[in-house]
Chains A and B, each alone.
Chain A
Amino acid sequence: MEHTSLLERILRGVAVSAILAFFLFPIFWIFLMSFQTNEQVLRIPPSLFFEPTTINYTSLITGKLQTAAGSLDLAFMQNLWNSVLLSTCSVALALLLGVPAAYAFARFKFPLSEDIAFTLLSFRFAPPLLVLLPLALYFQDIGLNDTYIGLIWIYQLIALPLILWIVRGYFEDISPDIEYAYRIAGHSWLQTFTRIAIPLARPGIAAAGLLAFIFCWNNFVFALILASADKQPVTVGALAFVTASGIQYGQIAAAIVLSVTPTLALALYAQRYLVEGLSLGAVKG
């Protein structure tokens, strides 16, 4: 490519740094805030220099907030646990259902196959409230309202299309010849699937699983409608927490930090696969 002048290189460096500042500053600032007492948060002008305190985290983890008015119970750790449980189980179920289906769509041309695959994809794009509001009424009737099972089921709407389309792409990239050879050697279809196809597609399956986990974790509206306080994940819990703890700003910041850390860590870990995942397999990174 062409050579760039020194001036242009400097200008580019400045522009990229400014962009990084804009996108990283909020995370950085909330992180700092989570180590401040309320007095420090409220100080004007805001300062980068302060005596850090871990009180926000200890009170979140122990679930007790000591204030002048007495002790206040915090259920935030329950929200965090709910997020872990809901996201993990949803992804596990989605993998169990989605990987065989992805294999079927990648290897076999059967009537209706594309229709079924696209129907599953279209769930990703429909307004969630359209199904959630009637579903909330149904769930009350059949007793699934405010249960983990009901939530995990509905979370399939997020996880399944993602896993199906990404893993399908991975299976399509693997030449079927190896599988044919293994079948001719006298192995059953199931053995071929579990011993050849799945191990070869493992990186794709892992990436799709991680991404689906992030999207389940980040979901807000499903649990807002279908879960009450003790089943809520962090996204909904944090909002309720803001209302409940009112002016404990340092604590709100600490709760946000605890809630976003898992997804940010996973994203950094899986960043190689994010491009492919975010575009549902349409673009390769």
Chain B
Amino acid sequence: MTAVAAPIRRRKTHLLPYLLSLPALLVCIGILIPFVTAVYYSLLRFRLNMPAMKGFIWFGNYEAFLSDAEFWNTVRVSLEYTALTVGVELLFGLAIALLLQKQTRFNNFASIMLLLPLMTAPALASLMWKLMTNPNFGILSYFVQLMGVQDFKWASSPNSALFTVVLVDVWVYTPFIMILLLAGLRSLPKQPFEAAALDGVPRHFVFFRITLPMLTPYIITAALFRLLDSIQQFDIIYPMTQGGPGNTLLVFQVRAYLEFYQYTNVGRSAALLMILWAITYALSNVFIKQWLRLRERARGLA
């Protein structure tokens, strides 16, 4: 009796984890089909308005990019946007985290309040800033005028459009970096700092030699997290300017969207997104390693 029951039971526990995780996986497998389709589309000459021209051209779409100034503009704008947002947010977020490091009631209140921009939908945040920078009544346009700057056109001028969307991105996502680094700062062991204080070590020395090195894993994880999102930016730029004025803000996803819906060039749009995917795939591999290390450390502390 028991001799028969045992193997059955073992097989059951073998299958159990698959049974538990399979539904989640199946729901997501559906997503892999469009992914494969996207790879296929990127190798086609495929325009929705000219179905007769549809044909396999191997890497024709990609080769065309090499000599396409618009493509290089997209690469440049995306990289500029990513570098600016992640750079500013890191510095700003680290500064705020250091300011709020001490657990006082006021600091805790401030860190909770700073979550609000982060929890605002980026698309809606973009609309909020659009209202505030309206040339006729926007409060920020008014402030800028008070400071003596005439004719500052925010998102509608090619000179300041990048600045405006970066500002909105900084408003929304700086708190993300801040709360991750704040959690990191507060989880650091106390002893090195106490020892340094006892020895009268200067504070800048403590910061560069103790705080910063110990905080590095958190900084890297937060930065990679933001890099991955920022290079795919869509939610702020599209509602604000639809990629305009002209081609100033045509980052990867905005360009791919317009390529698909405005120019109905499915092949080109897919090829553009494949290039973006390759970038994010490489980045996410680096990210996941960092993220896992941090995760194990957090579990270890628990």
Contact = CB atoms under 8 A, between A and B. Distances in A.
A284 B21 contact: no
Interface of A: 1-2, 12-13, 15-16, 19-20, 22-24, 26-27, 29-30, 33, 41-46, 97-98, 100-101, 103-105, 107-108, 110, 113, 116, 118-123, 125-135, 138, 153-154, 156-157, 160, 164, 169, 172-173, 189, 214, 217-221, 224, 234-236, 238-239, 242, 249, 252-253, 256, 259-260, 263-264, 266-268, 271, 274-275, 278-285
Given A134-B34, A172-B299, A127 B132 contact: no
A128 B25 CA distance: 18
24 contacts: A1-B102, A15-B99, A23-B171, A46-B142, A120-B24, A121-B288, A125-B283, A128-B253, A129-B273, A134-B38, A135-B31, A153-B27, A219-B121, A220-B234, A234-B121, A234-B124, A267-B115, A268-B116, A278-B118, A278-B180, A279-B221, A280-B291, A282-B221, A285-B179
Contacts of A153: 27, 30
Nearest to A190: B16
A284 B302 contact: yes
B180 A275 contact: yes
B56 interface: no
A42 B252 contact: no
Interface string B211-249: 000000010010001001000101100110000000000
B30 to A, nearest CB: 7
Interface of B: 13-14, 16-18, 20-21, 23-25, 27-28, 30-31, 33-35, 37-38, 41, 96, 99-100, 102, 106-107, 110, 112-125, 127-132, 134, 136-137, 139, 142, 171, 174-176, 179-180, 183-184, 187, 193-194, 197, 203, 218, 221, 225, 228, 232, 234-235, 238-239, 252-253, 256-257, 260, 266, 269-270, 273-274, 276-277, 280-281, 283-284, 287-288, 291-292, 294-295, 298-299, 301-302
Contacts of B37: 134, 138
Contact of A279 (B119, B180, B232): B180
